[in-house]
Structure 1
Amino acid sequence: MNINELVKEAHQMAIDKGWYEEPRTFGEIIALVHSELSEALEDFRAGRRINEIYYEGDKPCGIPIELADVVIRIFDTCGYYGIDLEEAIEEKMAYNAKRPKRHGGKKL
């Protein structure tokens, strides 16, 4: 599957699971993406290994799973708003390739 096929699948799954029965704002959607990043951070703070996948019952958990949730939510967002994510990634990576080393002078 290419990126845009995954976008379409993630968004359709969100629709099928009832996540769009009520309108959502862009702010709400972005907050949900952020919440998945926060869950990854909480696993790290709890001492979980970065590449560890563990289970609570049959539910997969861990930093890799939370990062997958971030990507899935971003895919869903792009599907909802009709964003061609594959094109955007290709354009941004091409731009980044032309930037100087450690551009911007920031420490992080």
Structure 2
Amino acid sequence: MLCIFSVQYTDPVIWREKDKNDALYLHRVVVNPVYKGQKQFMKVLNWAKEHALQKGLKFIRMDTWAENTKLTDYYKSYGFEVAEYYTTPNEAGIPIQYRNVEVVLFEMEL
């Protein structure tokens, strides 16, 4: 397996009022260590762009832990812009490991 990732078309808990059914949300992008350093994320991003455009979506959005500056810089190098730093709510609708965590929200306009 080369990599895995998940796609959502809404993310109201994290993106709140910006979640207007106009974005593809990439989550949990993980590349097999055997393939690291080979720009596999570019393949995921190219697919996401094409898929989003086919669905008439305007944005690709992602988030990651704000403290992970290496990953933050990596996503910026692919053209993502920081939309916001946000602390997730501490509520039952969110898995416990994602509660009350500072994240950085990334957005790419298509």
**With structure 1 as the length reference, what TM-score do the two structures score?**
0.27
**With structure 2 as the length reference, what TM-score do the two structures score?**
0.27
- Greater relative contact order (Cα 8 A, min sep 6): structure 1 or 2? 1
Considering fraction of residues, name the structure with more helix.
1
Considering fraction of residues, name the structure with more strand.
2
